[in-house]
Amino acid sequence: MLIRRLHLIAITSLVGLIILSLAWGGTLVSFRPDGYWSILKSLPLMLVFPGILKGRIYTCQYSSLLILAYLTEGIVRSLTSQGLSAHLAAVEILLSLAFFISDIFYVKLSRHRYGTPLK
């Protein structure tokens, strides 16, 4: 039961990050000539989504490292931006942390459950 909840939290927070990245780069922040380049930051999240959805351990392991880049970006933007951008950065921090924590524990409990010893 706990494994399912962790998996659901990981999926939900990943979908939230994808939507946030698309909205942030596409419509929520004032348009700039290079604004659409920021939409590309959602591409790595979209690439790992099928593996996370299926609960593949290997995908969960490397996506937990990938998500740290989004957490770092959220921290930096929350400290350097103002207004709507700072609020969006705070949401990015929360979603990244939710994904990271649920993903790490999902991997730990799944590996233990299926007999792969943790070292």
Q: Give the pLDDT score at 31.
A: 58
Measured between alpha carbons, how far is residue 87 from residues 12, 24, 41, 116 in Å? 19, 11, 18, 41
Is 70 within 8 Å of 92 (Cβ atoms)? yes
The answer on pLDDT for 118 being more than 50 is: no
Please give the model's pTM, rounded to 2 decimal places: 0.86
Higher pLDDT, 27 or 78: 78
